[in-house]
Chain A
Amino acid sequence: MAHAPDSSTERPAILDKVRPAELPRPPLILNDRGFHWITDKVCGIVEEETPLWWKIMFGVALFVASFTFIGLAYLVSTGTGTWGLRSPVGWGWAIVNFVFWVGIGHAGTLISAILCLLRQKWRTSINRAAEAMTIFAVMCAGLFPLFHVGRVWFGWWLFPLPNQNGIWVQFRSPLEWDVFAVSTYFTVSTLFWYMGMIPDLGAIRDRATTWWRKAVYSLLAMGWRGGNRQWSNFEMAYLLLAGLSTPLVLSVHTIVSFDFAVSNVPGWHTTIFPPYFVAGAIFSGFAMVLTLMLPLRAIYRLHDVITQYHIDNMCKIILATGTMVGYAYATEFFIAAYSGNAFEKFAFVNRAFGQYAWAYWIMVSCNVITPQLFWFKKVRENHSLVWIICLFVNVGMWFERFVITVTSLANDYLPSSWGYYSPTIVDIFTFFGTFGFFSVLFLLFVRFLPLLPMAELKMVSPQADPHAR
């Protein structure tokens, strides 16, 4: 710099005239709600009398969850043959469900970690519930790869435990990478979630009126007092964990995609899988967040905290990732044609026009076509429609995993071995039950833990910014 002009004297007068009008950022909390309101609102959910709808839902969820556990008991006692698997389709619904649930488990950590690093303040309204969703979805996901093995009682052999036989796990296997990727993801996500909750747990503790609430929440709050030093440490730890989680968001689904991409099955063996899977995971994850948050918003009257702006943002992310997924579908076709590899070509043409064409077109219409409605503001503002579209996205993403897993295996290299896979009732019930299992956990979360991060909400509320206009 040659010389810095004195701002007070040499400032061109024109600047004041052309100064652009400042676009007001939409407030993240509406109706001028104060801190106290936020505390009352969030703690009120935990402190109120257990509502009837919760009791009913919880009962239903428990019943549905039992389907999974009965299915798994039958599976373990009798054999993998109780599922619809056959030669050549060695992976069926179990792996489809695994990838589906892991995909759903992506939004939470993305919201809490990546959006945190990117200083997207709107994330605070949804991140707690989304993180809870992540953890519960990963728990549902984890059931499937564990129980899909033929001899689940030897599942611990997947861990590199020293043993006298000198047998070690196979580190070249993507399934082994999965073991580490998913367990790391689960551990870090849980830590992140729990750590972020500590100040809020402290608030609930402080408001507790019964001795047992006090005891339990004291334990959970780990002695949080809200002192400056604690806040300083908390912020730093939160930032560090966000940094640690960020690569995990990308790595988990990348590694899950390696289960397919590292193999040599036509239709699986594609380099596009990691970004494509991650985009799909965020896509399905946000759809699931909306699926869960819209009813909660309505039930608990959270309209001032979860605003149209939040919903708009999430819809736009769904639109963006949905389009990416659609682009990936197109790219797969292009690469297959461009490769000149007859088996690859067949695999993709067969996907779209072969025996599983019905699944493929369900996938395309749900994942590529439906989200395009989010281009329209009117659609984004119609919450019933948003909710329905998100359901479609969830269905579509389940079918995406089905299409990838099953169609590729059913028709690969040797036509002599081609087959057709259909699930059995045990497959269906086991999957169906995981929604119950998920709901049980999520309902418990809603009832007993702070649904929204109070402290963080206060930080982004207009009241927290004394300089705000």
Chain B
Amino acid sequence: MERIDIGEISLEAHIAGRGPPLLFLHGLDYFAQHQPFLDRLAGQFRVIAPRHPGFGNTARPPWMRTVGDIAYLYLDLIDRLALDDVLLVGASFGGWVAMELAVRSGARLSGLVLVDTLGLKFGGRDDVEIADIYALPADEVVRRTFADPAKAPDYDAMGDAEVEEVARDREAAVLYGWRPFMHNPSLRHWLHRIKVPALVIWGERDRIVAPSYGAHLTQRLQNARFVPIANTGHYPQVEQPEAVAAAIEGFGQEITR
């Protein structure tokens, strides 16, 4: 992990590989399970994967409370590293951050990849579109998150420091996403500002946020394609890192051609 200082924030970031820049924004918890996916992407991209403020070992300044704040921070990060034609990839909670970033400015982006993203509300006030993972039993959350529950992290086998990091991740996710639950009510009204090509990847068996949500999002974007990934749940990049990375690599070649 490296450190990048932006103003008062010292971002912890995983940086690896050579090639066009790819900024990966992670989801709700347990970053380490992304390693095979990020390793594979590093074969074709310069991968930059920061930990959001409050997550991992990136401290959160007390004033930073909204996903919009994180989006501005990563716009600063792109400036700071002087990146151009960035392929922005966001998964789950990180997809929400990615959309908030892209509606603010797409000037330095080449494309947007959203993997089982949160952040939007399409239905009515009685519709539950994002499962309330804080009200479900832990084993049910695992069954809804992973097509193959054996792929879920084994917290009992982890060391204290690692589990404590998971606890910090969960606390941070809650801080940003508790209410309204994991979405920004007005974000869907700004999706037209996303003009770069987009790829919407979805685990076919995601029961945290269903594939129909992703399909709906794809229709709302100007230039987007929907790619379901078989036998995966909410984290297809964890369950099928090769398949998801291949889809992203193909998309990367498509948009730079």
- State yes or no: do A and B come from one complex: no
